[in-house]
Every structure is written in C-alpha cells, then in structure tokens.
Chains A and B, each alone.
Chain A
Amino acid sequence: GAGVSQSPSNKVTEKGKDVELRCDPISGHTALYWYRQRLGQGLEFLIYFQGNSAPDKSGLPSDRFSAERTGESVSTLTIQRTQQEDSAVYLCASSPIAGGETQYFGPGTRLLVL
C-alpha cells in the first residue's frame, strides 16, 4: 500500500443520518488534509492535521463536521445530520511535512445525501 487510501469509495445516505469517512495516509507522513469538491466547484479545504499539534479546523463548513486523527495514522471525517448540500467528493491528502512538500491525494469518497 504505497498510496493514500480512503473508504468507502462511495456512500449513499439519507438526509439526517450521520456518516463517517476514513483516510489512511502514506506511512510516515506527518501532515494530513481533508478537502471537499462539490459538483462544478473547485476544491475546498476542510481541515489539516500536523503531527500532534492542534488541527486547523478553519475550513469546516459547520459544527456538523468534525475530524479526528490518531497520532500520525488514520483519520476519520464525521458528518452529523447530513444535508443534501453535503453531497460531494471528499478527498484526503498527506505529505511528509507541512508546507512545501507535495501532497499526495487519495481516490476520494463520493457522498450522496438523498
């Protein structure tokens, strides 16, 4: 497993349900990012983790969104009480260090809220 992996690849849920998206970064990468891409729009930054520092949550669109990361390993993005506007592709990326290093993206999770 050399790359970033994400699961599930697709998720269909009903409005009001909670969903949990998972990201497994490349081993040894200290920085992890979550992004969202809605249909026809550019990529939006959501949240950033760097080592054991407090995460940068400035991109989270509402308090229904939260994310966790255990050390420098897997991260989960949780969306509570999903809304139709949450439908998007959710992308995770990792990089060896913060800032100047290239980010390596996973294949994304396509979320559809009915």
Chain B
Amino acid sequence: KQEVTQIPAALSVPEGENLVLNCSFTDSAIYNLQWFRQDPGKGLTSLLLIQSSQREQTSGRLNASLDKSSGRSTLYIAASQPGDSATYLCAVIGGANNLFFGTGTRLTVIP
C-alpha cells in the first residue's frame, strides 16, 4: 500500500522567507501528485497538480517538483506571506480512483 510522508510536520518562518515543504512516497508507480492547502474550518484547496510525466509545475509564488524514481516531491513557496499560513497536504494518485494523503505540514508565517 502506498505510504505518503511529509516533513516537517510543522514549520514557522518569518515573513518574506523562501521555504520548501517535502513529500515522499513509497510506490513510484503513481499517476500524478497533487498539493493541497487546508485552512481551519474550510475545505481543501487544490494548489498544483503534477502529472507523472512532468517534473514540475508553477503557479505564482508556488513551484512543485516531482521525482518519481526517488519517490519525492517538494513544494517551494517564495517570499512567504502571513496569508500562506495553513496546513499543506501532499496527495499521491496511484490509479484512477485513489488519493493517498500525507499528514500534512502546518505552516506559520510570522509577520
């Protein structure tokens, strides 16, 4: 069974810093990988979707990379802002009907 791990579990940085969130998965036979953001009391917000044939995706200040062979993905956030504070979830799609989620990284950006 696919296992997804996210490190660190929590991260606190001052505003303006660049940061990297890590995601690793045990089964490299994935269909794609998705990063989500979860704010307290709200549903999940999809940030970036990387197809298995792609190496990275960018959206604004966010950049996600994927290395299938090593079972790793990173989410890079540039010039962090207090509004970026949330829990970030990595999800691996292992086929046509399943997402395997990590437990998330709780990010706090200090003004």
User: Which A residues are CB-close (under 8 A) to B100?
Assistant: 45
Candidates A42, A98, A104, A105; contact of B96 at CB < 8 Å: A98
Assembled-state Cα–Cα distance A66/B96 (Å):
21
Q: How many residues of A contact B (CB 8 A)?
A: 25
Q: Evaluate contact between A102 and B31: CB separation under 8 angstroms.
A: no
Instruction: Tell me if B89 is interfacial: C-beta within 8 Å of chain A.
Output: yes
Give the shortest distance, in Å, between B81 (CB) and chain A (any CB).
23
Knowing A41-B103, A45-B99, the reply to whether A103 touches B34 (Cβ < 8 A) is yes
Q: How far is the CB of B69 from chain A (nearest CB, A)?
A: 20
Interface range on chain B: under 10, 10 to 19, 20 to 34, or 35 or more? 20 to 34
Number of interchain pairs (Cβ within 8 Å) = 60
Nearest residue, chain B, Cβ from A6: B43
For B34, B44, B51, B89, the residue with the greatest tally of chain A CB atoms inside 10 Å of its CB is B44
User: B44 contacts which chain A residues (CB < 8 A)?
Assistant: 91, 93, 105
B47 to chain A, nearest CB (A): 10
CB distance B101 to A107 under 8 Å? Answer: no
Whether the pair B43, A105 counts as a contact (CB closer than 8 A) is yes
Contacts of B101 in A (CB 8 A): 35, 42-44
Query: With contacts A42-B4, A42-B104 known, is A99 near B46, CB below 8 A?
Result: no
List the B side residues contacting A4 at CB < 8 Å: 43
B43 and A98 form a contact (CB under 8 A): no
13 residue pairs of the A-B complex, CB under 8 angstroms, read A42-B102, A43-B89, A43-B101, A44-B101, A45-B98, A45-B99, A48-B97, A91-B43, A99-B97, A102-B34, A102-B49, A104-B46, A105-B45
Known: A42-B89, A43-B89, A45-B98; 4 extra A-B contacts, CB below 8 A, are A42-B103, A103-B99, A104-B46, A105-B45
What are the 10 closest A-B residue pairs judged by CB atoms, nearest first? Answer: A43-B101, A105-B44, A48-B97, A107-B43, A42-B103, A99-B96, A42-B101, A98-B96, A105-B43, A56-B97
Residues of B near any A CB (own CB < 8 A): 4, 31-32, 34, 36, 42-46, 49, 51, 89, 91, 93, 95-104
